[in-house]
């Protein structure tokens, strides 16, 4: 009789995961987090991650007595918690104060070519590209650098590009108290270029348009700005 439990040393993929394969699937606009996601401090998380990553390296046959590798588990733990996934922690959300639109500027404001570095949640491989963000003020404005910081905050977590695009848009709508927001992201996924099909040329474009940007003429003006 064949046991239904995986045998140690015999990798048995979950059939449901095999059906999903590499499909670009996102469950909701919110990042999937457990209720106890922040019960541990950053230091406690790093202390737990380091020995687990050490075990991964040892299973792969790497010699952690080597000077070049001995510190890698600690470096990876710190990188995960305090760098590439720091956006998981709401305590790291940038403070985004708004100001009165004293110039009475009524046209769209576009911040384009924002550098974007994120991580695919399906394979934990990099997503690199650019974000383009626009809004029309309803009476409040935000410092330009805060837009870049918002993009970086939501990018610094395991992501699906569609969700990332929506999270940036929803955050700006709430901060600026306006529906007139647009976000476009153009990115390359290393899970496409360095594994699987290994296509190095393709890129992925996602967009989220709200309020005035749902109007075709306004949307076209925005796209002309980011392509110009």
**Phi, then psi, of 73 in degrees rounded to 5:** -55, -40
Q: CA–CA separation, 174 vs 154, rounded Å?
A: 15
Of 177, 35, 153, 29, whose CA–CA distance to 90 is shortest? 153
Catalytic residues: 120-123, 161, 189, 191
CA nearest neighbour of 183 among 168, 171, 200: 168
* Of the candidates 130, 45, 118, 128, the residue with the CA atom closest to the CA atom of residue 85: 118
Q: Cα–Cα distance between 73 and 62 in angstroms, integer?
A: 12
133, 183, 135, 134: which is closest to 161 by C-alpha? Answer: 183
CB 210 within 8 A of CB 173: yes
């Amino acid at each position: 009789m064949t046991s239904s439990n995986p045998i140690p040393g015999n990798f048995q993929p979950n059939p449901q995961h095999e059906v999903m394969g590499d499909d670009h699937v996102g469950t909701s606009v919110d990042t999937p987090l457990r209720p106890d996601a922040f019960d541990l401090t950053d230091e406690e998380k790093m202390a737990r991650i380091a020995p687990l990553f050490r075990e991964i390296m040892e299973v792969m046959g790497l010699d952690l007595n080597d000077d070049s590798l001995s510190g890698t588990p600690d470096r990876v733990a710190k990188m995960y918690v305090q760098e590439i996934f720091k956006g998981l922690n709401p305590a790291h959300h940038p403070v985004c104060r708004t100001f009165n639109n004293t110039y009475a500027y009524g046209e769209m404001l576009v911040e384009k070519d924002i550098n974007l570095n994120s991580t695919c949640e399906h394979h934990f491989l990099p997503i690199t590209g650019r974000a383009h963000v626009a809004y029309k003020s309803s009476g409040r404005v935000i410092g330009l650098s805060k837009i870049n910081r918002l993009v970086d905050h939501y990018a610094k977590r395991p992501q699906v590009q569609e969700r990332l695009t929506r999270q940036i848009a929803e955050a700006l709508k709430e901060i600026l108290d306006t529906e007139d927001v647009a976000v476009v992201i153009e990115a390359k996924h290393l899970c496409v270029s360095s594994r699987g099909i290994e296509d190095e040329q393709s890129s992925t474009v996602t967009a989220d348009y709200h309020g005035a940007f749902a109007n075709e003429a306004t949307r076209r003006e925005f796209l002309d700005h980011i392509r110009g």
